[in-house]
Amino acid sequence: MKIDSRKALKFYKDKINANNQYTLTLYVCAGTSCVSSKSVEIADRLKAEIDKKGLSVEMNVVKTGCFGFCGQGPIIEIEPDKVTYVQVTVDDVEDIVKTHLMNREIVERLTYDMTDEGDYEMAFYKKQKRIALRHCGAIDPESLEDAIAHGGYEALAYALYDLTPDEVIGIIKDSGLRGRGGGGFPTGLKWQFTKAVEDEEKYVICNADEGDPGAFMDRSICEGDPHAIIEAMAINGYATGAKNGLIYIRAEYTLATKRLLKALKDARDAGFLGNNVFGTDFSFDIELKAGAGAFVCGEETALIHSMEGLRGEPTVKPPFPSESGFRGKPSNVNNVETYANIPIILVKGAEWFNKIGTEKSKGTKVFALAGNVRNIGLVEVPMGTTFREIIYDIGGGIPDDIPFKGVQIGGPSGGVITEEYLDTPIDYDSLKEVGAMMGSGGMIIMDEKTDMVEIAKFYLDFTQDESCGKCTPCRIGTKRLHEMLEKLTNMEGSPEDLELLEELALNVQNTSLCGLGQSAPNPVLSTLRFFRNEYEAYANREKPHGYRVIEEECIGCTKCKRVCPVDAISGEVKKPHSIDQSICIECGACIEACPKGAIVYE
Amino acid sequence: MNLIDKMVSVSINGISVNVQKDTTVLEAAKKVGVEIPTLCHMDMHEFGVVNQNANCRVCVVEDKKSGRLVPSCAQKVYDGMEVDTDSIKAVMGRRSSLELLLSNHPQDCLTCVKNLDCELQKLADDMNIRKIHYEGEKMDHPIDISSGAIIKDPNKCIMCRRCITMCDEVQTVGVLSPLERGFDVVTSTAFYLDLNQTSCTYCGQCVSVCPTGALAEVDATPKVWRTLNNPNRHTVVQIAPAVRVALGEEFGMEPGEISTGKIIRALRRLGFDTVFDTNFGADLTIVEEAHELIDRIEKGGRLPMLTSCCPAWVQFIEHQFPDLLDVPSSCKSPQSMVGTLTKTYYANKTGIDPTKIRNIAVMPCIAKKAEAAREELRDNGMKNVDHVITTRELARMIKEASIDFTRLEEDTFDNLLGESTGASSIFGATGGVIEAATRTAYEMITGKELVNVDFKEMRGMKGIRKASIDLGERTLNIGIAHELGNARKLLESIQKGESDFDAIEIMACPGGCVGGGGQPYHHGDFSIVEKRRQALYNLDTSMKRRKSHENRMVQKLYKDFLDSPGSDKAHHLLHTSYSSKERI
Amino acid sequence: MKEKVLDVSNLDQDALKSLDKHIDSLKGSNEKETLIPVLYKAQELFGYLPHNLQRHIAMKMDLPSAHVNGVVTFYSFFSEHPTGTYTVSVCMGTACYVKGAKDVLERVKKLTGASEESMSDDGLFSIKDVRCIGACGLAPVMTINDEVYGKLKPDDVDDIIARYKEDNQ
């Protein structure tokens, strides 16, 4: 049906809500991570069981987007009971139906393990503020009805009926929203630039080419709340005077693509896209363009060239896409997470958004928490939250209580933050000050055993592989940086190499053509800054870390020697033993075997 | 907007200057006499070619306001901009980019074809690079000499993409593209095919803009030396019109300085037995071509007729427009005409065994090497032309023989195929062939004397030009295009049946043969090509005879040997055929 | 070599027809922009993008072959080589990397004999290292065709690969 007025939207919403009167709703996460562990099958089985038991009138199963608690998936949330089941398998379905749905008792074994240090799950959500992710895990992303029931397209109606394009831009500007894709450019200003260029043909573009190999918030939003993106793009089109929208999405995101395509069709059928949106004289439609696997296409000029069917190579800015972008026309590129904030800002007002966050960074930011941390997943926190809060309060700290070493933020373009900065409030500017950057929001927690030179090498391997190869510093420079790091970790380096490494890293940063090249050396520069001793150890052809026997503590019991799988430990009975670093594979068997705690890792 | 609004004020190294808004930092710096090194940049906007990718990062300068390094070749100035071209940051950045390029470049400068003519080498010297600090993996690709015309050594490529700009945008041939990504990027043909398996026209414009030795002509000088050294060979050499106005540049002479006499003397000193003039072949071509045009007009044959002297253009139509192979004139090129006559007419006259004759052509052109190898251009089992060397290769031979070119006495061509008219001189410039043809066709068709032989509307550097010549009973509509991209436009209009031209001249290279791929490197300074072009027109006006059919030795040739234009014998020896080729 | 590039007679002619139809259906004002979707379709139909197929697409879309080849070799999604029955994708995203994806990848290579460059001799497996498939909670992760395997240890790979081999005996 067509919804051609504000009234119709309201009418429709009320009708849906009147129909949705269930006593129990089972939200089953159907984000990529949970789908990978068969959550769709679980949901289908639940539904079948409910039907079989004749409970379908009062109970409903909703396949939602990502809850964010990915490390514990598949996740089922039962409302209004406020019960969350984690790591559910298909075999658990029967138990859930019987125990929870029929006998109204909690299946204790499926709740999150709270044995030692308290309720991580509660903590996981307590400090979060879900704005961009507001509907992820709360609605069925494949249902337009569900989106409308949760306020979908009300912001668009408001913009079209009550606001001029300039007023829309004014609200976005006042909200203080900055681009969530990395650079943090003020969104309202960007919109204003595009609006200011006079042209019949303009484009608004959604950058869903999330390429940071450790960030997946954009995918989760596309999967969990596709209508929010569509609505926001239409608002952008109205504000900037564009009739055409394009979503550039990463090739690997099949589920997100499927859901976006469905949402686009539904939105078109309902009259939210196409000619005369909402019955007004504003016309707007969106086309989906699939990437084909190139990290550099996250850079906006490269992205545009890729959409034009070319190699995704960046070009010099200016001209900025706002003036000359897709097909040489003014183009407004925003990232998924940025868009996800737009509708709610319009509905709740600039001031509401403005109050969240720090002085210069407003609102929230989604981070993909991964690595050596208990709770892996997506977290959304107000700007200004500290690393400590994220890692320890939300993330539950490091498993096995191994000491913390660092956190890599911003993916291949970002840098490392150390213990002393754990209490830094996170925002765009504070991160820059400490040599990192917000980037896409990937946050990898590393424990003491992590080799920082290896980490830098990992990222350089990534960037040199993903470099488009157009400009010299990125094409050859990142390759040489990677080779220098290889040389170090192969124990073939020398102290002079460190100077050369640093000098080249700075030059690549200064001279590269696009953001990819300019930020590629960040992981090297920031690890050099905080962990220079590890580089120096390699330069002197020593391992920077490893297991060591504390001579004074060793009683010479030979237990460690006996368990070592590679015979790296030598020593006579009742005399202190020692570990040959060149043989040791760091399996940790010795540390467990030692009755005296005389072996340490440093 | 008035002019004042378009002006911005910028400061370069503390020197203030007012420039137009869309000026680049590089151009603004030039205005105040500040030089900034460049490498990938190439600005030949006079004829619409600018390579402004900002790839090499050798031209970065510091924008004082942001503290960032910006590529001066592509960065536009803004009002109040302050640029420091020699800050430590800028100098280190430029140096680093250059050193990185060198770390991925073979260090065989001494034996490289571009030794002392290489832009990378010059920069390395300018930037005082004495040690390359970065080391690691280098490119390792096979060298391609399959075409016998262009040698492609990807290992020397610095990814400036000038060649791609020429091949893709100017010539619309599109044989080259960057393949792969990251460090593995290589400028290549599709699927790494050898050049001779592609639609390459061998125009050599890629060679003429390549800053390093990644693209060059296949060196034919060793073969020529060997031939000269063989007592059983009778060597006949010919030189093309555009060679005589460019070769001097290799010896410090001004572009456009005419050195025909010195070249002839040098050729004799190198040991060539006979020195003929390709211009003679040009005059002959005109007579045959004008005859063919009249024939087509009278008999209702295929019009327009297209000139066929340019071998790159012939390759182009064979690959790209195989359905239009009946439009080019069937006349062989002047090079081939002289070649075939050397082994027939000249051999007859002198009694020399034609199998012992070797014809060597000195051309401004790389495609002529491929032309000489064409199966269609053999008579009696013998190649019309045996070896082709470019202007640059001849210069190298002269240097190799330690001949002091500038001090050589003047000499003249051997008579039999040595006389020429002004009409043939302008063959080397865009529009020249058709102007020469018009001079002859006019008189052949109208039977009247053409008093004013200067058809100025056919001259110039515009990509596509038109002219209408009043022949009394009818008008002759002439079209002219240089650069293959412009040729493509004309051909597409023919394909669609929208063309009302009677005759069209096409030359592949910008400016015509004066801007050929085998000429001394202009390093992006297109005024050099312009001076050469002008010199050809000066040569034309300095001649007593300015119409091809007035060439007395051409007249003698018909009388003694060929009978008449378009005769069976002329047809057999002076005409050729074309075949369709795959596009890839 | 040239013959091989030009000749498409060794390709599935029905697939070729449906590809041509697809290209024709995209013809319009901005058809050159559709190269990437066309390549998607071609890869879906043929499994990979052999040179003669790329050249065929170039001709059909009136693009230089070098341009098409330049695009194909730029994007990691496109393959110029045939792929095995099973494509094993080991996630090399950061989360998986720090949890030992490298060891998993090595084990897969060892067991199958395939590598990123070439499929296994029996044609069963090809290997891709992918950057983050977004299942970071399951790190380290690999997928075999559409099947996802998470929280892997190198030893787990032995059983998984063995099962696929058995299925094809």
Of B54, B159, B181, the CB nearest to A316: B54
Q: Which of B332, B368, B369, B383 is catalytic?
A: B368
Q: Do A214 and C95 touch (CB under 8 A)?
A: yes
Mean pLDDT, residues A460-467 taken together: 94
CA A91 to the chain's CA centroid: 31
Query: Would you say residue C1 lies in a domain?
Result: no
Contacts of C70 in chain B (CB under 8 A): 177-179
**Residue B513 among the catalytic residues:** yes
A463 DSSP 8-state letter: H
Q: Do C136 and A370 touch (CB under 8 A)?
A: yes
A contact residues 469-488, partner C, Cβ 8 Å cutoff: none
**Residue B579 among the catalytic residues:** no
pLDDT class for A116, splitting at 50, 70, 90? very low
- Considering chain B, what is the average pLDDT of its residues? 95
CA of A566 to nearest chain C CA: how many angstroms apart? 18
The token pair at B39 is 């490498």
Q: Which of B73, B112, B309, B365 is catalytic?
A: B309
pLDDT higher than threshold 50 for residue B1: no
Q: Do B96 and A480 touch (CB under 8 A)?
A: no
Q: Is residue C52 domain-shared with residue C95, that is, in the same domain? A: no
Local structure of A466: helix, strand or coil: helix
> pLDDT exceeding 70 applies to what percent of chain A?
98
Q: Is residue C118 domain-shared with residue C52, that is, in the same domain? A: no
Query: So what's the pLDDT on residue A182?
Result: 76
B187 and chain A in contact, CB less than 8 A: no
- Which chain C residue shows the shortest CA-CA distance from B196? C2
Query: Would you say residue C4 lies in a domain?
Result: no
Kindly give the pairing relationship between strand B42-44 and strand B49-51: antiparallel
**Residue B329 among the catalytic residues:** yes
For the stretch A332-370, pLDDT in tens is 999 999 999 999 999 999 999 999 999 999 999 999 998
Query: So what's the pLDDT on residue C151?
Result: 86
Q: Is residue C94 domain-shared with residue C159, that is, in the same domain? A: yes
- Which chain B residue shows the shortest CA-CA distance from A483? B136
B87 and chain A in contact, CB less than 8 A: no
Domains for chain B: give ranges and CATH numbers: 4-100 (3.10.20.740), 104-217 (3.30.70.20), 221-574 (3.40.50.1780)
Out of A77-81, B110-114, B245-249, B381-385, least confident range: A77-81
For the stretch B236-285, pLDDT in tens is 999 999 999 999 999 999 999 999 999 999 999 999 999 999 999 999 99
CA of A350 to nearest chain C CA: how many angstroms apart? 32
pLDDT higher than threshold 90 for residue A62: yes
Query: Would you say residue C159 lies in a domain?
Result: yes
Q: Last residue of some domain: C50, C74, C98?
A: C74
Q: Are B509 and B517 in contact (CB under 8 A)?
A: yes
- Which chain A residue shows the shortest CA-CA distance from B134? A480
Contacts of A455 in chain C (CB under 8 A): 98
For the stretch A383-436, pLDDT in tens is 999 999 999 999 989 988 888 999 999 888 889 999 999 999 999 999 888 888
pLDDT higher than threshold 60 for residue B186: yes
- Considering chain A, what is the average pLDDT of its residues? 91
- Chains with 3 or more CB pairs closer than 8 angstroms to B? A, C
pLDDT higher than threshold 60 for residue A118: no
- Which chain C residue shows the shortest CA-CA distance from A219? C134
**Residue B457 among the catalytic residues:** no
State how far the Cα of C115 lies from the Cα of C129, in Å rounded to an integer.
10
Which residues neighbour B470 within 8 Å (Cβ) at sequence distance 6 or greater? none
Q: Is residue C152 domain-shared with residue C105, that is, in the same domain? A: yes
Strand partners, A408: A416, A444
pLDDT class for C5, splitting at 50, 70, 90? low
CA of B315 to nearest chain A CA: how many angstroms apart? 27
For the stretch B78-95, pLDDT in tens is 999 999 999 999 999 999
pLDDT class for A81, splitting at 50, 70, 90? confident
Q: Do B181 and A479 touch (CB under 8 A)?
A: no
Q: Which helix (H) or strand (E) holds A483?
A: helix A478-489
- Which chain A residue shows the shortest CA-CA distance from C74? A311
State how far the Cα of A471 lies from the Cα of B54, in Å rounded to an integer.
7
Scanning A37-111, the segments in alpha helix (DSSP H) are 39-52, 93-95
Q: Are A220 and A136 in contact (CB under 8 A)?
A: yes
Query: Would you say residue C57 lies in a domain?
Result: yes
A411 and chain C in contact, CB less than 8 A: yes
Contacts of B75 in chain A (CB under 8 A): 316
What sign does the dihedral B190-B195-B197-B203 (CA atoms) show?
A: positive
Q: Is residue C95 domain-shared with residue C23, that is, in the same domain? A: no
**Residue B309 among the catalytic residues:** yes
Contacts of C130 in chain A (CB under 8 A): 252
Query: So what's the pLDDT on residue A167?
Result: 97
Query: So what's the pLDDT on residue C1?
Result: 43
Q: Do B69 and A511 touch (CB under 8 A)?
A: yes
The residue behind tokens 């993916």 is A411
pLDDT higher than threshold 70 for residue A530: yes
CA B140 to the chain's CA centroid: 30
The residue behind tokens 């930011």 is A365
Domains for chain A: give ranges and CATH numbers: 21-126 (3.40.30.10), 151-353 (3.40.50.11540), 364-447 (3.10.20.600), 452-539 (1.20.1440.230), 547-601 (3.30.70.20)
The residue behind tokens 């260029």 is A197
Full domain range(s) for residue C55: 13-74
Q: Is residue C99 domain-shared with residue C123, that is, in the same domain? A: yes
Q: Is residue C105 domain-shared with residue C48, that is, in the same domain? A: no
Query: So what's the pLDDT on residue C3?
Result: 52
CB atoms within 10 A of CB B402: 6
pLDDT higher than threshold 70 for residue B184: yes
Local structure of C100: helix, strand or coil: coil
Q: Is residue C66 domain-shared with residue C106, that is, in the same domain? A: no
Mean pLDDT, residues B302-316 taken together: 96
State how far the Cα of A374 lies from the Cα of A362, in Å rounded to an integer.
28
The residue behind tokens 């006495």 is B409
Which residues neighbour A122 within 8 Å (Cβ) at sequence distance 6 or greater? none
CA distances from A394 to A33, A426, B204 (A): 19, 15, 65
Query: Would you say residue C79 lies in a domain?
Result: no
What sign does the dihedral B323-B328-B334-B340 (CA atoms) show?
A: positive
**Residue B376 among the catalytic residues:** yes
For the stretch C118-137, pLDDT in tens is 888 888 999 987 877 767 77
Q: Are A443 and A370 in contact (CB under 8 A)?
A: yes
Query: So what's the pLDDT on residue C2?
Result: 46
Query: So what's the pLDDT on residue A119?
Result: 53
Which is higher by pLDDT, B168 or A183?
A: B168
Query: So what's the pLDDT on residue A122?
Result: 64
Q: Is residue C69 domain-shared with residue C90, that is, in the same domain? A: no
Contacts of C67 in chain B (CB under 8 A): 168, 174, 177
Query: So what's the pLDDT on residue A267?
Result: 97
State how far the Cα of A260 lies from the Cα of A551, in Å rounded to an integer.
62
Counting beta carbons within 10 angstroms of the beta carbon of residue B508, is it exposed (0 to 12), middle (13 to 18) or buried (19 or more)? buried
The whole-model pTM stands at 0.92
Strand (E) positions, B432-526?
A: 464-470, 475-482, 503-507
Amino acid identity of C5?
V
Q: Which helix (H) or strand (E) holds B348?
A: helix B347-350
B364 and chain A in contact, CB less than 8 A: no
Question: In terms of Cα–Cα distance, which of B284, B288, B422, B419 is closest to B341?
Answer: B284
State how far the Cα of C93 lies from the Cα of C102, in Å rounded to an integer.
10
CATH label of the domain that carries residue C157: 3.40.30.10
pLDDT higher than threshold 70 for residue B477: yes
Mean pLDDT, residues B59-68 taken together: 96
Q: Which residues of C touch A (CB under 8 A)?
A: 30, 32-37, 39-40, 70-71, 74-78, 92-95, 97-99, 130-139, 141, 148, 150
- Chains with 3 or more CB pairs closer than 8 angstroms to C? A, B
State how far the Cα of C65 lies from the Cα of B190, in Å rounded to an integer.
6
Contacts of B584 in chain C (CB under 8 A): 2, 5-6, 55, 58, 65
> pLDDT exceeding 90 applies to what percent of chain A?
70
Q: Is residue C64 domain-shared with residue C92, that is, in the same domain? A: no
Q: Do B193 and C1 touch (CB under 8 A)?
A: yes
State how far the Cα of B68 lies from the Cα of B83, in Å rounded to an integer.
10
pLDDT class for B49, splitting at 50, 70, 90? confident
Query: Would you say residue C81 lies in a domain?
Result: no
Query: Would you say residue C23 lies in a domain?
Result: yes
For the stretch A577-600, pLDDT in tens is 988 887 887 777 888 888 888 888
What sign does the dihedral A319-A322-A326-A329 (CA atoms) show?
A: negative
> pLDDT exceeding 70 applies to what percent of chain B?
99
Mean pLDDT, residues B489-508 taken together: 95
Q: Which helix (H) or strand (E) holds A522?
A: helix A522-530
What sign does the dihedral B177-A297-A439-A328 (CA atoms) show?
A: positive
Q: Is residue C62 domain-shared with residue C95, that is, in the same domain? A: no
- Which chain C residue shows the shortest CA-CA distance from B182? C74
* Number of domains within chain C: 2
Mean pLDDT, residues B201-207 taken together: 97
Mean pLDDT, residues B381-406 taken together: 97
Query: So what's the pLDDT on residue B4?
Result: 58
pLDDT higher than threshold 70 for residue A115: no
Q: Is residue C108 domain-shared with residue C68, that is, in the same domain? A: no
Query: Would you say residue C6 lies in a domain?
Result: no
Query: So what's the pLDDT on residue A127?
Result: 85
